[in-house]
Amino acid sequence: MADKIAVIGCGFVGVSLSVALAISGYEVLGVEVDAAKLKLLQNGQVPFFEHGLGDLFTKAMATGNLSFSSDYSKAIAGANIIFAAVGTPSREDGSVNLDYLEAAAREASKYCEPEAIWVTRSTVPVGTGRKLSLIFAQTDKKVAVVSSPEFLAEGSAMRNTFFPDRIIAGSDSPEAARKVIAVLRAIEDQGQRFAGDDLATYASLYSGAKTTSSGINAIPTLAQAPARAAELVIGLESAELIKVSSNSFLAMKISFANMVARVCAASGADVTEVMDGIGLDKRIGRDYLYPGLGWGGGCFPKDVAGFIDTLASWGIETELMDGVRQINAAQIDYVKSLATQLLGGVLTDKKITVLGASFKPGTDDVRQSQSVILAIALARAGCAVTITDPLADPTAEIARLTAEMPLAAPINFQKDLETAVQGADLLILATEWPEYVNADFAKIGAILSQKNIIDARNKIPTGKLEAAGYKYKTIGGAKSNE
């Protein structure tokens, strides 16, 4: 019989991991406390959208290895390894709320087997593993606590799960860390098996949203199949710190690109040419040098805030990360100023359609999406704003972000593109969904009030816009976007 593994928290990370584990041959019991989510999972449905996950979920359920429950006593008993993937959201002050994780550890400690291994997959501030160890130390079960951060990105989650770049396990017990690495390697082995004998699944991991810096998502041939992940068996604190530092660094790269973009726009340089040139330096690399509307989503904003909180709590200067955050917030004002320029100096009563609501294409996740934040800023400036998205519904996030200061006029959410753009004075590409990047701008132009567009992601070939008679702005003076 397969080893039994429990996964606590069946949200984005927990479901992706559970599915991969079950397909790789483990018996997996997912623990979820949200009754609505649990019901969907038990009925064989994924409660959120992630490219390719639906089919893999069906495959995993068909193995008979995967089930879900809210009952810790059933799920945890008999499991040698317990992965925790519960949410670790920001508190108002930017610090990380560990209540869910600590509650999960307390509950698990009651039912877990002696010498079980607890693996924190959630993103946590450094020092969390030590606190969790104290919870398990109150039992006599000698549970080893391991930190093995999750590095998947939404939109390419299953590819990242089966073909990870790195596998990290940090613990006081190198033996427990190695056992965790062995499980994650088994998932990687399954990815290689897809590449060898299940080409349809292998190819499906590479389709979907464009996620590379060049915008191309080519399927590597078998000879080019991704190399095995590098692995690190390290200390608990080091593993915890790698995850938050990595996300803070990536946010910093994006904000850096946005800072340089301002100089480009002012000086006549083309930011794409500049980023291509910088990215050729192997020490820097091209990835995440994306000028645009800035970073958002369920991870970067909270991880950067959490990192700043950690720095401050150790008395370490926070200026660098404060600046990264300020540049990101300022991108909204920058795009608003481009809108003002295109609309003759006045925003009041102008009809603006924001194209895209999710924080990036390929996901329905709208948490802290810059597209939604931009729509709200435009509505506050007196514009009549419509927001459209092929998949995500931003209504609840708009309500959450405007709860304290309601909008004078509501933002109209319209899924259908043609209806959404009807009569608009300005379009803003906020999320680079292929549907928008490749839209027929000549046809759309016929139903606009004015042919104005801001490409806030530098993705639409400007030649297409020129041919269709648009006045347009890009970020950082990008000239072609070919």
Judged by beta carbon, residue 367 or residue 479, the one nearer ligand NAD is 367
Closest to 260 measured CA to CA, from 285, 287, 300, 289: 289
Compute the least distance from the CB of residue 75 to ligand NAD, in Å.
Answer: 9
Give the largest Cα separation in the chain, rounded: 73
Residues with Cβ within 8 Å of 107's Cβ and at least 6 positions away in sequence, in order, are 72, 76
* CB of 40 or CB of 269, closer to ligand NAD: 40
Secondary structure E strands in 265-371: 351-355
Instruction: Kindly state the smallest distance separating residue 112's Cβ from ligand NAD, in Å.
Output: 14
| Size of the chain, expressed as the number of residues it contains | 482
Kindly tell me which of 46 and 354 has the beta carbon lying closer to ligand NAD: 46
Q: How far is the CB of 448 from ligand NAD (least distance, A)?
A: 35
Half-sphere exposure of 367 (CA within 13 A, CB side): 13
Name the strand (E) or helix (H) holding 435: helix 434-437
- Least Å distance, CB 301 to ligand NAD, is 11
Q: Which is nearer to ligand NAD, 211 or 458 (CB)?
A: 211
Of 10, 112, 264, 299, which residue is the catalytic one?
A: 299
157, amino acid identity: A
- Please name which of 241, 259, 245 lies closest in space to residue 323, comparing C-alpha atoms: 259
| Minimum distance of ligand NAD from residue 18's CB (angstroms) | 11
Cα–Cα nearest to 184, from 150, 157, 154? 150
Short-list 298, 296, 244, 238, CA closest to 124: 244
**For ligand NAD, the closer CB: 31 or 229:** 31
For the chain, what is the radius of gyration of the CA atoms? 23
Element (H, E) at 276: helix 271-279
3-state secondary structure of 193: helix
Binding site for ligand NAD (CB under 6 A): 8-14, 31-34, 37, 85-88, 100, 103-104, 122-123, 150, 152, 154, 298-299
Distance CA 45, CA 37 (A): 9
Which residue lies nearer to ligand NAD by CB, 249 or 344?
249
Min CB(303)–ligand NAD separation in Å: 7
User: 213: helix, coil or strand?
Assistant: coil
* DSSP per position, 110-138: HHPPTT-EEEE-S---TTHHHHHHHHHHT
**CB 101, min distance to ligand NAD, A:** 8
Which residues make Cβ contacts (< 8 Å) with residue 12, sequence separation at least 6? 48, 50, 154, 157, 298, 365
Task: Mark whether 112 is an active-site residue.
Answer: no
User: If DSSP codes are grouped into helix, strand and coil, which group holds residue 204?
Assistant: helix
Q: Output 122 or 458, the one with its CB closest to ligand NAD.
A: 122
Residues 31, 38 contacting (CB under 8 angstroms):
no
Token pair of 15, please? Answer: 């479901």
Residue 12 or 118 with smaller CB distance to ligand NAD: 12
Q: How far apart are the first and last CA of the chain?
A: 54
Q: If we measure between CA atoms, which residue out of 449, 437, 443, 433 comes closest to residue 384?
A: 449
- Considering beta carbons, is residue 122 or 450 the nearer one to ligand NAD? 122
What is the closest distance, in whole angstroms, from the C-beta atom of residue 74 to ligand NAD in the complex? 13
Contact partners, residue 416, CB within 8 Å, separation at least 6? 388
Alpha helices in 343-410 (DSSP H): 370-380, 395-401
Residue 381 C-beta: closest distance to ligand NAD, Å? 31
Are 23 and 158 spatial neighbours (Cβ–Cβ below 8 Å)?
no
Comparing every residue's Cβ against ligand NAD, the nearest one is 11
Using alpha carbons, list the distances in angstroms from residue 291 to 47, 269, 324.
32, 13, 13
Q: Are 67 and 75 in contact (CB under 8 A)?
A: no
Tell me which residues are annotated as active site.
Answer: 299
